[in-house]
Amino acid sequence: MIDTHTVSFGAFRLDVANAHLWRDTEKLSLKPKTFSVLCYLVGRAGQLVTKEELFAALWPDVRVSAAVLKVCIREIREALADQAKAPQFIETVHRRGYQFIAPLATSTPPTLGLEARGLGLVLPPPPANLQVSRLQSRWPQRRTDTTSLLVRCCQNWETPDSVRYWRSRDR
């Protein structure tokens, strides 16, 4: 299964964290469900993924026809300039499912600090000698708003201690 990193294959880059497919520097547009199908296939590269498995994973508790999956696969192939008869990326296994056949290269984006998910904001870890009380005395009337904003933005920091650090100053 792929995580929140970038997967490269051919001239394409699949940015899972930001839900983007790139061809070199061009961002390609995919519908959300089509992107999910691509991610699922890439996450199981080299393995046969049955149609039933795709339906169970991507359309749970919803009844859809096989045509919906065919449309998603067609849209992926159009975006990748792939052909069903001579596949480079997605191979159809007749009456069974699909297989992602391209070789993959993965990379985890470097982090300079602690990333606030969804905002593209990278915050450095707080310095060891930071005197929070001095910083809070500058804006005493806005302390709660500022602290709650920091906690809201940084709730997905890499270490839970970082969040506790900021919250403890609010009490």
The total domain count for the chain is: 2
For residue 14, what are the β-bridge partners? 7, 21
Going by pLDDT thresholds of 50, 70 and 90, the confidence category of residue 157 is very low
Q: Does 61 lie in the same domain as 122?
A: no
Tens of pLDDT along 49-107? Answer: 999 999 999 999 889 999 999 999 999 999 999 999 999 999 999 989 999 999 998 77
Q: Does 128 lie in the same domain as 98?
A: no
Kindly report the CATH number assigned to the domain that includes residue 29. 1.10.10.10
For residue 144, what are the β-bridge partners? none
Distance CA 112, CA 26 (A): 25
- Rounded to an integer, what is the distance from CA 124 to the centroid of its chain? 22
Q: Does 93 lie in the same domain as 139?
A: no
Tell me whether residue 45 is in a domain.
Answer: yes
Tell me whether residue 1 is in a domain.
Answer: no
Tell me whether residue 155 is in a domain.
Answer: yes
Structure tokens at 56: 């169970």
Q: Does 144 lie in the same domain as 93?
A: no
pLDDT above 60: residue 2? no
Tens of pLDDT along 118-154? Answer: 444 444 555 555 444 444 444 444 444 444 444 444 4
Q: Does 93 lie in the same domain as 140?
A: no
Domain of 146, in residue numbers: 114-168
Q: Does 75 lie in the same domain as 154?
A: no
Q: Does 96 lie in the same domain as 18?
A: yes
Boundary-marking domain end, from 57, 82, 107: 107
Q: Does 68 lie in the same domain as 52?
A: yes
Q: Does 101 lie in the same domain as 22?
A: yes
pTM summary value: 0.61
